[in-house]
Amino acid sequence: MMAPEAYRSEAYYRAELDCVFPSSWVFVGHERWVPEPGDYLAETIGTEPVLVVRNPDGALRAFSNVCPHRASLLVTGRGSCDRRLVCPYHGWTFGLDGRLLAIPRQRGFVGGVDTADYGLHELRLDVWEGLIFVNATGGAPPLRDHLEGVPELLAGHDIAGMTLGAFLDDPIAANWKLVMDNAICDYHLGMVHGESIADLVELEGLSEQAGHTTAVASVPWKESALPPEPRPTLTGDAARGSLGCFVFPNLHVIGFPTGGATVMWWTPTGPASTRARVLSLSHDADADVRAGAELLSRVQREDFDVCEKLQIGVQSRHYSPGPLHASELRVTVFQRRLLEMVEPVLAARAGAGVNRG
């Protein structure tokens, strides 16, 4: 398990923002959030401001959300730009393909400006089951390689065909890794969620499998909790219980035997703060007990409470990590991959005498 310093160190936090997130495939939103040409969403990947926009031909493209003139953000949140991206600072105008189209008072620039030299920087984008991923550095392997066996495991759920349901967006006063550890720790389910979801599942039948950038927990449900008529496309573990699929660095997609799913992701906002988002999806929200905002909110509150206690606890000079439980395999996968990426960066910065915090 990671040392307590990893959860409170500014140096760790800066290395994660500078290296881990930009060089990974990071989930940024659902394609139905940008349904029409000119619709956009803005996100931050590490320290990189990113925008995703729908082109007139229906394709999605991702760009650095930074005007190349004086670095202003072009857009925030979600919305529509009416087929033109206009910088709010000096009015430089870009097409949905990233080309610079117009510059106010262009003759005022000494020597002139060639618009071909100042288009938006395009980023790698890919979509799986309606979920949009962006790789900010461009150096990650193909998305399908990054997802390993998750697409096959969740294929029967038809996530792309689901209706978007409840959406939660909340702050947590805890380091994002503590929140991530908790989300994929199957050892905590019976204790922390004893009043919400633990009574639906058979914890003794839980099993886990590990990859390099993914890890999956199969959690069988009690017979009384299973739908009377399982979705025909679900077989095996998918029909008998939940499939909790962690995707590095910060995504958790859970497929349910009801046919629904939950997408959860956690974005660092500081060494001891995190933005937690949850999106519920379902083929039939009225019939899916896991799709409602009430249950999602209750589970979130249970997790928030324990994560904020953990953040206080890792400050203790007397704490060092205890023994590893078999139900913490997914946590091990997450931490191992994270340390593979962060430790060389920290070592190089220490050797160079770099202080980012």
* pLDDT of 200 above 90: no
Q: What is the dihedral of CA 212, 354, 270, 143, to 10 degrees?
A: -30
Q: What is the pLDDT of residue 190?
A: 74
Q: Give tens-digit pLDDT for 155-175.
A: 999 999 999 999 999 999 999
Residue 291: pLDDT band with limits 50, 70, 90: low
Higher per-residue pLDDT: 191 or 273? 273
> Phi, psi at residue 201, to the nearest 5°?
-120, 160
Residue 351: pLDDT band with limits 50, 70, 90: confident
Tokens of 250: 């910060």
Identify the CATH class of 145-337.
alpha beta
Higher per-residue pLDDT: 240 or 352? 240
CATH topology of domain 34-139: Rieske Iron-sulfur Protein (2.102.10)
Strands (E), the chain: 26-30, 39-45, 48-54, 60-64, 78-80, 85-86, 93-94, 100-102, 122-128, 131-135, 163-172, 207-210, 214-220, 241-247, 251-255, 261-270, 273-282
* pLDDT of 356 above 60: no
pLDDT (average), residues 268-286? 92
Residue 353: pLDDT band with limits 50, 70, 90: confident
Each domain of the chain, given as residue ranges in start order, spans: 34-139, 145-337
Helix/strand/coil for 91:
coil
Question: Is there a shared CATH topology between the 34-139 domain and the 145-337 domain?
Answer: no
* pLDDT of 288 above 70: no
> Is-contact 62 123, C-beta < 8 A?
yes
What percentage of residues in the chain have a pLDDT greater than 90?
A: 76
